Amino acid sequence: MTLGGSAKVSGIGLGLRAPLADAILTRPPPALRWLEISPENYMARGGAFVRHLDALRERFPIVTHGLTLCPGGVEPLDDAYLSTLSKFVNRVASPWHSDHLCFGSHGGRFLHDLLPLPFTHAAAEHTAARLIEAQRRSSSRLLRATSSRRCARPVARSARPSATRSKVTAWRWTTASTRASRGSSATSSSGG
């Protein structure tokens, strides 16, 4: 896969759901320019799922957005998952792969939820290190999605802005390191 994808992703995109596939193939909305898919819904599947995806790939650029990387987790990164994910992302020629900034497993069990990370410098450093490691093991460009939150974080009057800056700096360092390791100057405005 060429970094940055082979097709330009701009304009209006749609998160593809299986029930929409036939309608998009037969009557695509005129403004639709690209599709977002969750690889976990297609990896290791065949039949109608793959046929629909292949037909849609002929008409629209595909961008992948995952659900199970869990970069904030404490479980070891899953090499089998990363390998399957990389192959899939390359197969659909996604210009990047994003996932939720969260954790989703504990004690070896996947919890099927996007659980929020603590608002701490240690969590930011841990997550940045895991993203760097996942990027190192992946042949796809990884981006972060919006972090999961359950409620607004209370801000104490004595809270120092430097704590927030350190988390942002950790992420910027992660993305800068990723771009440098891939030789890309591309940036993303993805926030979702």
For residues 131 and 69, give the distance between their C-alpha atoms in angstroms, rounded to a whole number.
Answer: 9
Q: Tell me if 82 is assigned to some domain.
A: yes
Q: Tell me if 7 is assigned to some domain.
A: no
Q: Tell me if 123 is assigned to some domain.
A: yes
Asked if pLDDT for residue 172 goes beyond 60, the answer is: no
The region of weakest confidence among 80-84, 115-119, 170-174 is: 170-174
**Where do the H-state alpha helices sit in 42-116?**
48-57, 79-91
CATH number at residue 24: 3.20.20.150
| CA 152 to centroid of chain Cα atoms | 23
| Confidence class for position 105, pLDDT limits 50, 70, 90 | confident
| Confidence class for position 148, pLDDT limits 50, 70, 90 | low
Question: What does the block give as tokens for 3?
Answer: 């970094």
Number of domains present in the structure of the chain: 1
Could you identify the residue written with the tokens 């192959």?
Answer: 87
Strand (E) or helix (H) holding 99:
strand 97-101
Q: Tell me if 4 is assigned to some domain.
A: no
Helix (H, G, I), strand (E, B) or coil at 128: helix
Q: Tell me if 143 is assigned to some domain.
A: yes
Q: Tell me if 25 is assigned to some domain.
A: yes
Asked if pLDDT for residue 91 goes beyond 90, the answer is: yes
Q: Mean pLDDT, the chain, as a whole number?
A: 78
Can you give the pLDDT at residue 38? Answer: 94
The region of weakest confidence among 9-13, 117-121, 171-175 is: 171-175
Can you give the pLDDT at residue 138? Answer: 81
Q: Tell me if 5 is assigned to some domain.
A: no
For residues 50 and 22, give the distance between their C-alpha atoms in angstroms, rounded to a whole number.
Answer: 13
Measured between alpha carbons, how far apart are the two ends of the chain, in Å? 23
Show the domain range for 172: 12-182
Nearest to 59 by CA among 32, 96, 97: 32
In sequence order, what are the residues at sequence separation of 6 or more whose Cβ sits closer than 8 angstroms to the Cβ of residue 88?
Answer: 39, 42, 43, 64
Strand (E) or helix (H) holding 33:
strand 32-37
User: Residue 134 in contact with residue 89, Cβ under 8 Å?
Assistant: no
Q: Tell me if 50 is assigned to some domain.
A: yes
Amino acid found at 54: D
pTM surpassing 0.85? no
